[in-house]
A and B are shown apart, each in its own frame.
Chain A
Amino acid sequence: MIWIVFVLVFWAAAWRVNIVLTAQKPNRFNAFAVPALFGITLLLLWEGFVRGFGISPVLLPAPSAIAVTFSQNLPVLWGDFVQTFVKGALSGYIIGCGAAILVAVAVDRSPFLQRGLLPVGNFVAALPIIGLAPIMVMWFGFDWQSKAAVVVAMVFFPVLVNTVQGLQASDAMQRDLMRTYAASYPQALMKLRLPAAMPFIFNGLKIATTLALIGAIVAEFFGSPIKGMGFRISTEVGRLALDMVWAEIAVAAIAGSAFYGLVALLEKGVTFWHPSQRG
């Protein structure tokens, strides 16, 4: 009971502090403090209710229990992270996005490909990953290669569509200017079309970060070596070790956020000139 009273009081106090903080002028401190306080409150509420109501750890382990499991299994979690994220998701992401941008340039150049390839890409994007993953495992084996293949299939289309759209984003006057310089196609592509397409390309790249992680984890449910985040989640659920499952979810959340943040940071550097980034 004391736990529940404590977290409710803490909740009310944190709420009050955040009201005061948000009423102030925005600055570096409260830009960080407000969401941090919100997150801490959420974790404390979770901890307090789990302890106060005596919820079974199979249904919902307390954050402290998850943290303990996390710290005791660092080598296992690291191994899973490398297997799933670095080998599966990251390599698939790089191959898939790279191929999509190259194909987009080809599609942009040729109306024939535009009519032929885009519908096929659309079709592949509509295939459910649940159906695709076992096929890829059959084709490319149990190890990370099949996971990368699933990721390629998942990230390819959003990046392709965004890039194709981006390559058409330069306006008529900017293109006329290139014409008056008698610029060649590669020159116009490198100096006008691709830079102008960057905001669109990064849009696709950001969407693809989360898709890559989902793809790599889900693909492991259909066969993998005895490591990997998806493998761990499916086996630990079977052993009712839900604290380990939550620890893997924490790893996925951290890796996913960091990945997204990194791409967003890169975007800020490349498209600093775009009105949405000038701020």
Chain B
Amino acid sequence: MNDTVISAKNLSLTFETNDGPVHALKDINLDIAKGEFVSFIGPSGCGKTTFLRCMADLETPTGGEITVNGVTPREARKSRAYGYVFQAAGLYPWRTIGGNIRLPLEIMGYSKEDQAKRVQQVLELVELDGFDRKFPWQLSGGMQQRASIARALAFDADILLMDEPFGALDEIVRDHLNEQLLALWARTEKTIGFVTHSIPEAVYLSTKIVVMSPRPGRIADVIESTLPKERPLEIRDTPEFIEIAHRVRDGLREGHADG
């Protein structure tokens, strides 16, 4: 664990609102190594999404330091270092599924043949092959979210940032997508930052779980997962899994008690 991809040192972000300053993030210290799957979990208002947005240069920190691939988030964004998956699929309704996945490729200037090849590749990756001519509104919510993941995977970014991508989906679809995401991570060896508020989801997916607590948003605990890389869904019934989930729950409760 030496090559650090994302590094935050004393990172703080304060929003000035009409009701006074809100400390969304306070003194965050965290290193994420290459190839890690890191989950951020905590109650709403703990700053997990804000932290992810800081990495993506969608928010600007007011204190401390953060680097992505050794440079500032802004430079990382300009060099297209990451793919970002939002809470909602956010597909453009005037483009087909294929057209939506092609969007970042068009912007980044990939050649026409390369575009077609990559669209086909990622559609297969998220099991949506054959749907490239459909429009987003013709697909279910789960399929739309899979398309938005495909869109983030289509270009060569080593980092994948996901902000509660499965939050709005039912549990069965969610389980299925979690499995697929793990398989995808194993195949692509990307570094993944994943925001969630589901304990089982965080434990099932992650190599590292960052438990956060609100007011001010800070890190309450960092748990290195001892689960093997190969994870069938049944692993969620093993004592080891339950043990880690327990630790996460304790961390959340503690953060809440003094919050």
Which residues of A approach B to under 8 Å, CB–CB? Answer: 171, 173-174, 176-183, 187, 191-192, 195-196, 198, 271-274, 278
Contact = CB atoms under 8 A, between A and B. Distances in A.
19 contacts: A173-B86, A173-B88, A173-B90, A177-B90, A179-B57, A180-B84, A181-B80, A181-B103, A182-B78, A182-B80, A191-B92, A192-B92, A195-B94, A196-B92, A272-B94, A273-B93, A273-B135, A274-B93, A278-B137
A273 B94 contact: yes
B92 A180 contact: no
A180 B90 contact: no
Contacts, number: 52
B107 A177 contact: no
Contact of A181 (B88, B90, B92, B108): B108
Given A182-B77, A182-B107, 12 more contacts: A173-B90, A178-B107, A180-B77, A180-B82, A180-B83, A180-B84, A181-B107, A183-B107, A187-B107, A191-B106, A195-B94, A278-B137
A176 B161 CA distance: 13
B142 interface: no
B90 A191 contact: no
Interface of B: 56-58, 77-80, 82-84, 86-88, 90, 92-94, 103-104, 106-108, 135, 137
Interface of B is mostly: loop
Interface of A is mostly: helix
A183 B87 CA distance: 21
A177 B94 contact: no
A164 B86 CA distance: 27
A176 B56 CA distance: 10
Nearest to B93: A273
Contact of B77 (A171, A179, A274): A179
Chain A CB within 10 A, most for which of B80, B94, B106, B135 = B94
